[in-house]
Structure 1
Amino acid sequence: MAAIQRHQMLEPGDGVVVGLSGGPDSVALGHILLRLRPELDLQLYLAHLHHGLRGQSAERDLALIQALAEKWQLPLAIERADVRGLARRRKLSLEEAGREARHAFLEGTRSSVGARRIALGHHADDAIETFLINLLRGAAAGGLSGIPPVRGAIIRPLIESTRPAILAYLQAHQLPWREDPSNRDLRFLRNRIRHQLLPELEALNPGVRKVLYRTLTALFEEDQALDWAAEKILGPAAVKGAEGLSWPRERLLAAPAGLRLVWYRRQIERWRGHLLGFSQAHLLALDALVCGPRPQAEIHLPGGLRARRSYENIELVTAKPAPSSTASELELMLPVPGRVIWPLSKSQSASITAEFASEPPRFSKARPMTAGKGDPQSRLGHCHAWLDPDRLPGPVSIRRFRPGDRIQPLGLAGTRKLKDVFMELKIPSDLRKVWPVIVAGSEIVWVPGYRIARRFKLEADCRRPLRLDFHWQ
């Protein structure tokens, strides 16, 4: 109860999904919350994921859990998962795949019953083992702070209790539990730490577990302070729905490297709900992408994520859009006067309008897009071009970039490759494939954000100036 109060895990009337494996920790947790239910007016739900890995042993775990649910008169959610198949499909270890499957199942159960919390049975010895695992693999303060008492909807009421204390509680209340045989399999690093490394450390210092727990608790508190500072100084990333995250590079470069790493971890965890598969090495690789010399680059991260830098903008996305086989074939007629909506992505488009003006403008060329800082949409905004319609060799249409495209820009000698124009304007590579190119007949008239072609410039005797407007919606 002390840990629940200290870390503000529960409020009166809370709905709580209790992850129940049948092991000693989860059985003790379920019983403790059952005893607290009248005092805190809790709505309890038990949840068990059958991993499909341990044959009859797993079936006996399930039978025990069903018996406990019936005895405690609590609702029980059960799901069977193909963890081995998930590991194969996602190229994960069995341990990682199991964690991912459990997370999805428990979160789905919480959502379906409308509960606020998910309670898990991790205890102080689990936190110490996790600390040592991360220390051996290499981690910063966030990884070395062990298992957090509260993370999002997840709470760990036993996090300050030791394994011997939990076993004593079970015996005092005559509660049955199941032992997972894999917990003694020394092929797993956690088991080697539990059964080999920690006994060796205790031979050197009998109080080493208390020392390690105090250390990871101090690191956790410092890490919480860093999280708070990173959020205050750098602010949140822009969430792009389910697609990913986006943030300006300039904001990050002004912060110390350590604060950037804390911030990356915090934003990823907030968006995905967990950090499964991520290590300090991945955060350092992300920071190298942000701070490195390459203006356009991409790296792969755990969980099918990709981090992408496009000049001064950084994105974290779930998948790279598959290139369309007809990417360069789209062409739409632009009525004069008239308006066309041009697709830029699944969620964004641009409006391109053509209209005649009664008076000639002050300028006879497009206002070039500023190739400065910020994302393309904020840099482009709204741009326009003035043309002499009598010089156009045919109907006006809009198409996508094609290899070999060139333009004769107004005010410059010779021709330029559109590929070079896009690079000058810092248009991201994925947008170049869909960027509108205004043509008349077979000639390029204008590329929004750049100059018009020289031969279509307005002359003083033009009686019906044509204005083209590009507006990114």
Structure 2
Amino acid sequence: MVVHDPEVLDGDRASPFGAVLVRPMLGLSATVVRTALRGAGVDWREDGTNDDLRHPRNRLRHRVLPELEAISPGFRDAFLRSLAITREMAEIAKKAVDDAAANWIPIERGVQMPIRTLLGYSPFARSALIRSALVRLGADPERIESSHLHAATEMIARGRGRAHLEFADGYRVAVIKGSAVITQMGRSSPGVDGSDLPHFVVNTAP
């Protein structure tokens, strides 16, 4: 189901086309859905690729999952419950990071946050905050590597004065005068030219 009003259902994931993808039966088994449709007298169409074992998803569905269910009855239901809990926790974490992102202070061509404020969050949250700031400044999310975020959080935690790390497409995370400062290469906050900063390149992807 595709809803073209992003405010229809809060929490559903937006597609790249500006719509919201709503999948209300994602947690139901095919057997449950087919039984309900038969009971309601509703016809349906099966995806012709669902039984094609050339696709990894079908090998998992038809071979691996039944074997796991045979070894541990109830495995599928337990797995789905775990997925639901994981999704819920991810949403909670995302909201917390979004709220914490308000602590980024806009500066000329970038943002900054006092290191003491950033260190008040967990390492995971620090990494997520740096990532959100990079995206906010225009960085491509697909080119932000988790290892690079980890390196940035480690640098900030050590409080290395006037050190910086460079990300893809010219984005920079620096420690300057007690603050974590995120800008683009060649762009600096007022009064800081960056020319004498130690150079730690963590992403040289073209």
Q: TM-score band (shorter)?
A: 0.5 to 0.7
User: CA 1:275–1:159 in structure 2 vs 1: closer, same or farther (change >3 Å)?
Assistant: farther
User: CA 1:311–1:276 in structure 2 vs 1: closer, same or farther (change >3 Å)?
Assistant: closer
User: CA 1:212–1:267 in structure 2 vs 1: closer, same or farther (change >3 Å)?
Assistant: farther
Matches within 5 A, 1:62-461: 110=4, 115-116=5-6, 150-152=12-14, 153-171=20-38, 172-180=41-49, 184-186=53-55, 188=56, 190-235=57-102, 246-248=111-113, 250=115, 251-264=117-130, 282-292=145-155, 295-300=163-168, 307-312=171-176, 313-315=181-183, 376-377=189-190, 379=191, 423-424=195-196
Aligned-partner residue type, residue 200 of structure 1: E
User: CA 1:277–1:290 in structure 2 vs 1: closer, same or farther (change >3 Å)?
Assistant: closer
Q: CA deviation at 1:228?
A: 3.2
User: CA 1:196–1:157 in structure 2 vs 1: closer, same or farther (change >3 Å)?
Assistant: same
Aligned-partner residue type, residue 67 of structure 2: E
Q: CA deviation at 1:248?
A: 3.6
Alpha-carbon separation, structure 1, partners of 2:42 and 2:194: 72
Q: Is the 1:296–1:311 contact (alpha carbons within 8 Å) kept by the matching residues of 2?
A: yes
Alpha-carbon separation, structure 2, partners of 1:277 and 1:183: 33
Aligned-partner residue type, residue 70 of structure 2: A
SS of equivalent residue, structure 1 residue 291: helix
Alpha-carbon separation, structure 2, partners of 1:307 and 1:249: 19
Alpha-carbon separation, structure 2, partners of 1:267 and 1:422: 19
User: CA 1:296–1:271 in structure 2 vs 1: closer, same or farther (change >3 Å)?
Assistant: closer
Q: Which has the larger radius of gyration?
A: 1
Higher RCO (CA-CA < 8 Å; seq separation 6+): 2
Structure that is richer in strand per residue: 1
Deviations 1:327-371 (A, max 9, x none): xxxxxxxxxxxxxxxxx98xxxxxxxxxxxxxxxxxxxxxxxxxx
Alpha-carbon separation, structure 2, partners of 1:276 and 1:192: 28
User: CA 1:423–1:149 in structure 2 vs 1: closer, same or farther (change >3 Å)?
Assistant: closer
Alpha-carbon separation, structure 1, partners of 2:6 and 2:131: 24
SS of equivalent residue, structure 2 residue 195: helix
Report percent identity of matched pairs.
18
Q: Is the 1:185–1:191 contact (alpha carbons within 8 Å) kept by the matching residues of 2?
A: yes
What stretches of structure 2 of length at least 5 have no aligned partner? 15-19, 200-206
Alpha-carbon separation, structure 1, partners of 2:61 and 2:36: 21
Aligned-partner residue type, residue 252 of structure 1: L
Number of equivalent positions: 179
What stretches of structure 1 of length at least 5 have no aligned partner? 1-17, 20-43, 45-109, 120-147, 321-343, 346-374, 381-420, 429-473
The alignment's TM-score, normalised by the length of structure 1, stands at: 0.30
User: CA 1:167–1:246 in structure 2 vs 1: closer, same or farther (change >3 Å)?
Assistant: farther
Q: CA deviation at 1:237?
A: 5.0
Q: Is the 2:100–2:129 contact (alpha carbons within 8 Å) kept by the matching residues of 1?
A: no
The alignment's TM-score, normalised by the length of structure 2, stands at: 0.59
